Amino acid sequence: MMNIEFETAAAEDLRNQRSSLKMRFSSVGGMKFSGVCACVPRNEVDNMTSGAELFGADIENTIKATGVRTRRVCPPGGGVTALDLSVTAAKELLGNHSISSSDIGGVLFVTQTPDHDMPNNASRAAHLLGLSTACAATDTSLACSGYVYGLWLGALMARSIEAPLLLLAGENHSASTSPYDKSTALLFGDAGTATLLTPEGDEEWHFGFLTDGSQHDVLMVPEGRSRRPFNERSLEYKTWPDGGVRRPIDIHMDGMAVFNFVVRNVPGCLSSLMERNGVAADELDLLLLHQANLYMMKQVAKKLKIPLEKMPVSLDRYGNSSSATIPVTICSELQKTVSEKPHRVLASGFGAGLSISAVSMNLGPCVCPGVIEYP
Amino acid sequence: MEVSQFINEIADIIEADPKILSLESDFRESADFWSSLVGFALLTFLEDQCGAVLSIDGFLECKTVGDLYAKAQERQRG
């Protein structure tokens, strides 16, 4: 066989190419990841059954491609929300922790499925958890990149108010997912999580962010808010140009565009963050990725040359719960080990925005009751 | 890129065993599972690592790993 070398200038540039999009970096010192708990609905959906009619003979291949075999979803028609799940997780966490509700000085709730447009989830959560009125409580609206953004914003808040803070991250996207749209029908699960951040110690958390709003429409809910208000046609299922059947208030996802953005940008972002902070890939204990799609996650890990054994997966049983997937994965896959010892971690969320967030930090030892069910 | 490295890269993308993959292998049949995402990952690899920008029709014409390699060679020859 002949060996062919691709040593043209173009190929060389492409081989050495990092993302042409720029990142922003930030470091926050003096923070401790003190505890984490996740809560999922008791209702489990088996994708082989639920997707059989939509996908027919392709169902097994589709499940292999996404990696989601079962997922937990809130009962249809309302009644159980991300707020319920996250508050339940927080109660379990505080019940197992030396820090009590009276010590908490702040609540940050990451969600794109709040109970109401007004008021925010965080204020209600603070009340339900019996926190003092001397509490800073606010929501932040981000999807899959939301948890790492929450660690960053939560750390800044906790350092500023000099008090422990509860980071609640939860979603019930199942309520805005069309069962007739092949690109999303089998993907999303629901979950609520609680993470306790305490301003103590001398560790530094190093963050990186990338935002590309030019692709805002490849992962969105088109209708129901200010740009296109809810109207009488919002609940009508129709066939869209991409072939998907969904309502205007359902999640629309251009899977190829999201995949393209992730594989072309996330590895470079994570490499840049590691390089900036002097962390080599082989020094990492864990790669915690947002549980978007198993194939995509594997491609990211491979590009970073991080063994797949260091990349825990919860997607197969819990689905994609957006901002909650990273804490769900910690609770479901790492409960024992993070309870006992520290780990050098690289975590990253990526998705709607389009947005990438990443953090290099130590995780554990911390209080971790694991995954609990609601009710 | 040498042939062996090219085959290893393709094996990685289609999640196949590189020891049994060859230029004669049908890459769709050899994939652990075939999906549009895997196809897209191949296109991205050919574009980013080999400088070969394929049209969808050009990609659909490819059946074997060797066909993909040939496309990459065409780009190299200009």
- Chain A with chain B: Cβ pairs closer than 8 A: 72
Collect all residues of chain B within an 8 Å Cβ-Cβ radius of residue A293.
Answer: 37
Give me the helix-helix angle, A59-66 and A294-303, nearest 10°.
40
Q: For chain B, which residues lie within 8 Å of any Cβ of chain A, measuring from their own Cβ?
A: 1-3, 12-13, 15, 23, 32-38, 40-41, 44, 47-51, 69, 72-73, 75-76, 78
Judged by CB atoms closer than 8 Å, whether chains meet at A8 and B76 is answered as: yes
Q: What percent of chain B has pLDDT over 90?
A: 59
More confident residue, B75 or A182: A182
pLDDT given at position A9: 34
Spell out where A172-257 has E strands.
Answer: 191-198, 204-211, 219-220, 238-239, 245-246, 252-253
pTM of the model: 0.92
Residue whose pair of structure tokens reads 């979950």 in the numeric block: A191
Collapsed DSSP state (helix, strand, coil) of residue A55 = helix
pLDDT given at position A241: 92
Burial level of A257, CB count in 10 A (0-12/13-18/19+)?
A: middle
* Residue ranges of domains in chain A, CATH in brackets: 29-204 (3.40.47.10), 205-366 (3.40.47.10)
Rg of chain A over Cα atoms, rounded to whole angstroms, equals 20
Which helix (H) or strand (E) element contains residue B56?
A: helix B56-61
In angstroms, the CA A66 to CA A87 distance is 29
Catalytic residue check, A173: no
Q: List phi, psi (to 5°) of A252.
A: -110, 130
- Sequence-ordered alpha helix ranges (H) in chain A: 9-15, 47-50, 52-55, 59-66, 82-95, 121-128, 146-161, 255-276, 294-303, 315-318, 325-333, 335-340
- B44: nearest CA partner in chain A: A260
Mean pLDDT in residue range A238-262: 94
Span A198-215, pLDDT tens digits: 999 999 999 999 999 999
* Residue ranges of domains in chain B, CATH in brackets: 3-77 (1.10.1200.10)
pLDDT given at position A364: 95
Span A10-39, pLDDT tens digits: 333 333 434 568 999 999 999 999 999 999
Mean pLDDT in residue range B10-37: 93
Catalytic residue, from A173, A206, A290, A343: name it. A290
Collect all residues of chain B within an 8 Å Cβ-Cβ radius of residue A260.
Answer: 40, 44
Judged by CB atoms closer than 8 Å, whether chains meet at B76 and A6 is answered as: yes
pLDDT given at position A138: 98
Span A305-351, pLDDT tens digits: 999 999 999 999 999 999 999 999 999 999 999 999 999 999 999 99
Span A165-195, pLDDT tens digits: 999 999 999 999 999 999 999 999 999 999 9
pLDDT given at position B76: 58
pLDDT given at position A5: 30
pLDDT given at position A77: 85
More confident residue, A335 or A78: A335
pLDDT given at position A4: 27
Q: Cis link prior to A267 (omega < 30° from 0)?
A: no
Best CA proximity match to A80, nearest among A43, A45, A111: A43
| DSSP state string for A108-173 | EEE-SS-S-SSS-HHHHHHHHTT--SS-EEEEE--STTHHHHHHHHHHHHHHHHTS-EEEEEEE-G
Span A79-131, pLDDT tens digits: 999 999 999 999 999 999 999 999 999 999 999 999 999 999 999 999 999 99
Global ipTM: 0.85
Judged by CB atoms closer than 8 Å, whether chains meet at A65 and B35 is answered as: yes
